[in-house]
Structure 1
Amino acid sequence: MKRIFELTTSDIENLNKNKLKDIISKSEGRTVMSETIISYTPYIREVSNLELAASFGADMITLNTFNFEKPFIFGIDGGANLLSSIDNLANKIGEQIRDNLTNKDYIKNIKKLVGRMIGVNLEPVPEGSTYERGYRLNIENLNKVKEYGFDYIVITGNPNTGVTEKTICDGIKLAKEVLGDSTLIIAGKMHGAGSGNIYDEKSIKSFIDCGADVILIPAPGTVPGYDLDLAKKIITLVHDNNALAMTTIGTSQEGSSKSIIEQIALNSKMAGADIQHIGDCGTFGIALPENIMALSVTIRGIRHTYRRMAQSILR
């Protein structure tokens, strides 16, 4: 079995969640996930943030602010040239959204372009929320997750969305019911998100009991009081209950110095993380690209990092 940083585009085309979970587990804490805000124009003109993340060593790429009712990814679908007239740009975006809504291979084609596993954030907001429906975790969007062929979903809460432990658990149950064995379910909180406790072991256990395959927690040093010992304690609980653990940098420290990224990455590996996530707010909807590479080099060295970077052009 190949490790995750050895997979080529053809390898990832037919992975189900059980196979992916097994590959991540056997990669011994050397899996890198990069999150990108796809509603921003790209960091580098004419190169999407997804392609940039892949070329700097990411294995898994998570789309934040992907709108299932208005699917459009800046840099992939266009919109990078803001020098054109606003009216012309708006018309082109509208046309592309209509095409994407009916194109069942939309995400599958992006996976072939980028050569990485692609996932999406879904927000389990409470009833009565004014949050845009295209971002929410609901039956309609979960069916589209399956139809488009996303490899995984991330159930979590952006700040001030009203997401709680209960809404996350309810979201996990619904996702498991709709997605079955097709899609890996990642769930948890990478920061307070304006509400709720991120330190409670009972909450972590409840996410596993509800059916999450991977539990996400803050990386040591990213939120107050979340140190190596606490992270290790919670990750041990996760592993004892047959789930995987992902540490996350979701506090804009993805825009910190390289030495900070290296420290966070090494502590996360010592804590036992199976996946290390780096967030989307370094600059222009992506971590500083050199910090994606720094995280990769820290947890798996130059040899595997350079291979991963070169595999951006392998099929």
Structure 2
Amino acid sequence: MKKRLLSCVASDIRKMSSEELKNAIIASEGRTILGETVVTAAPLFEDVTNAEVMSAFGADLILLNEYDVFTKYINGLNVDNPILYIKDLTGKPIGINLEPVDETAVGMEELIKLPLGRRAAKETFEEAWKQGIDFILLTGNPATGVSNNSIMNSIEIAKKYFKGLIFAGKMHTAGLSEKILSEDVILGFMDKGADGILIPAVGTAPGIGEAESSVIVDKVKMRGGITISAVGTSQESADADTIRQIGLCNKRVGFDIHHLGDGGYGRVPDPENLMALSICIRGKRHTYMKMSRSIKR
């Protein structure tokens, strides 16, 4: 099936292979939104999951942060397979963060220890695929000690044991003193087999400029990769005008996916900012259609 994600309904998404999903994102020409939420936090609203809120306000892809594939814990849910349940509720592709911790890293702050179910390892990749997860982002939360080198080393393992899409990159330093935006590193992720890369949106992490980002994005896209612009510095809860500025900059740079992180109230992007971003990058017509479509279609 060849169809842009912008125009897909829930029944289209349920039938998509990983490669079809990748093509659908690219075909949407920079009009795809990725919303992220922390699953261990209490949801923003009672009796509704944050995934449903993000989906209702325009998110095309849902990213679950701090999801442990072995405990399967999501605050507010008590079901056997929460991934399939959320996919059924939203009709959207679901992904998780897994963290390639660098055991040799020396942090700028005290680093935290992560359970196996949140780390990038053979067992977690296999379990993620069993649960129906559509994509994995290899990245680092604050103070986790995830390095670019450890991300690089984990990509090949991920591709071997997980059949969905693999994205790689850092939104911020993750507690380490290293350059986030390095052309050699980003293209190295592609060489290792990543389906796409993630870098901070211009204006979110110090020193990330539009010109440098554009060069890297162009080179990744020439290799057939997906590019993700990340807002992972709590600016997802800034005012709507800031979000619109970031969205337009993303379009100029050429990103395929616009990410809004989990730094808002309820550990989810401000819903109004999701809608503001959506209107900015694809107009009211597509925004209102996205918000209105039934998952029964």
Residue of structure 1 in register with 2:125 after alignment? 142
- Given the alignment, which residue of 100, 104, 108 partners 1:124? 100
Conserved 8 A contact 1:55-1:312: no
Residue 234 in structure 1 maps to residue 216 in structure 2: yes
Q: How well do the aligned residues superpose, as a CA RMSD in angstroms? A: 1.5
Name the aligned partner's letter for residue 199 of structure 1. L
Mapped pair 1:203 → 2:185: yes
Q: Which amino acid aligns with 2:9?
A: T
Match in the other structure for 1:4: 5
Aligned length, in residue pairs: 288
User: Which region of structure 1 is more displaced relative to structure 2, 237-246 or 247-256?
Assistant: 237-246
How many Å separate the matches in 2 of 1:270 and 1:155?
25
Whether 2:94 is the aligned partner of 1:112: answer no
User: Deviation of residue 11 (structure 1)?
Assistant: 1.2
Which residue of the other structure, out of 183, 202, 212, is the alignment partner of 2:164?
183
Which whole-Å deviations, capped at 9, do the CAs of 1:49-72 have from their partners, x for residues lacking one? 000000000000000010112112
Equivalent position to 2:145, from 154, 157, 162 = 162
CA distance in 1, matches of 2:262, 2:268: 4
1:214 pairs with 2:196 = yes
Structure 2 stretches of 5 or more lacking a match? 105-111
**Aligned structure 1 segments of 4 or more residues deviating by more than 4 angstroms:** none
SS of the residue corresponding to residue 141 of structure 1 reads helix
Deviation at 1:118, TM superposition (A): 0.5
Larger Rg: 1
Report the counterpart of residue 107 of structure 2 in structure 1.
Answer: none
The normalised TM-score by structure 2 is 0.93
Quick one: which amino acid aligns to residue 73 of structure 2? Answer: F
- Between 25-34 and 126-135, the greater mean CA deviation after superposition: 126-135
CA distance in 1, matches of 2:83, 2:181: 35
CA distance in 2, matches of 1:258, 1:227: 21
- In structure 2, the residue matched to 1:56 is 57
Residue type at the aligned position of 1:67: D
Please give the secondary structure, in 1, of the residue aligned with 2:67.
Answer: coil
8 Å contact kept, 1:124–1:137 = yes
Identity percentage of aligned residues = 42
Matched, 1:25 2:6: no
Match of 2:240 in 1: 258
Please state whether the residue corresponding to 1:215 is helix, strand or coil.
strand
Are the equivalent residues in 1 in contact too, given 2:33–2:58 (CA < 8 A)? yes
C-alpha distance after superposition, 1:68-111 (max 9, x if no partner): 12112223x1xxxxxxxxxxxxxxxxxx4xx63xx5xx422321
Q: Distance in 1 between matches of 2:169 and 2:261?
A: 15
Q: Deviations over 1:170-223 (max 9, x none)?
A: 1111010112xx301110111111222212111111111111111000011101
CA distance in structure 2 between the aligned counterparts of 1:197 and 1:157, rounded to whole angstroms: 14
